[in-house]
Structures are given as C-alpha cells and as structure tokens.
Amino acid sequence: MKEMTKEWLKAAEDDLDVIEEILDVKHLTNMVAFHAQQAIEKSFKAILEEKEIEIIKMHKLETLLSKIKNYLNFTIDLQLIKRLDEVYIESRYPSDIGLLPNGKPGYEEAKKFYQFAKMIFSNIKNLLS
C-alpha cells in the first residue's frame, strides 16, 4: 500500500475515533453525520490514491463512489450515501437558518451513519491491505 493511501485511511480512522467520542452526546448528531461523511470520503479517496486515479477536490460521496465502484468487493447502500451527501454541508450550520430542512439527524440515524462509515472504512482498509 502506498504511503499516501495509508494517510487517507488514517485520516478516515481519525474521523471514526471522533464519532466514538461524541456518539452518545445526543445534541451532536449533526457532527456525527459530518464525521461519518468525512470518514467515507477519505476512505473513497484512499482507493483513488492507491489506484492512481485523480483525486478531485470535492466532497460529494455519490460522485466519488462512481469513480471507485468497480474496485469494491462489497455493496454500499446508495440511499445512505445520498442522505450523507444531503447533510454534509448543512450539518455544520444551525438548522434554524434553514440549511438543514429536516433539522438535525436523530440519534438512531446518527448511529446508523456511524455504523455505515465504519463498515465502509473496514472493508476498504481490508481491500487495500
């Protein structure tokens, strides 16, 4: 594995570590969503790096997934990818200014985001090892 690939995976793992620290803090569900999105984005970019595919400066998971899907040996729930794309930018701003139309993700949804991000990270790490 290339050194830069390892760096992408380490950065993704750091986001998962942050989620583990804040997951039970009920008012931080927006931040769980943010770090879940980031962990998945960085995991996807690890594949791009390893396969020497240009890493574009973007955060949209659905677009990144389209660039790496042929390298995956596991299934990814596209609905969860789309949901995380919806809440990525909005998760960093107050919902009362209308940027997060449905408000913060609920606690159960936040846990689902974490489990999803952790699954993707683990599968990609194993795939690239």
Q: Structure tokens of 25? A: 């803090």
What percent of the chain stands above pLDDT 70?
88
CA separation for the pair 89, 96 (Å, rounded): 15
User: What pLDDT score was predicted for residue 102?
Assistant: 64
C-alpha distances out from residue 17 to 8, 12, 14, 20, 103, Å: 14, 9, 5, 5, 24
Fold of 3-128: Four Helix Bundle (Hemerythrin (Met), subunit A) (1.20.120)
* DSSP structural state of residue 74: S
User: What pLDDT score was predicted for residue 87?
Assistant: 78
Band (99; pLDDT cuts 50, 70, 90): very low
> Is the pLDDT reported for residue 89 higher than 80?
no
CA separation for the pair 68, 64 (Å, rounded): 7
User: What pLDDT score was predicted for residue 36?
Assistant: 96
Q: What is the mean pLDDT of residues 37-46?
A: 97
Asked whether the beta carbons of 106 and 29 are under 8 A apart, the reply is yes
Three-state secondary-structure class, residue 102 = coil
Asked whether the beta carbons of 92 and 100 are under 8 A apart, the reply is no
Name which of 43-47, 101-105, 118-122 the model is least confident about.
101-105
Which pTM value belongs to this model? 0.91
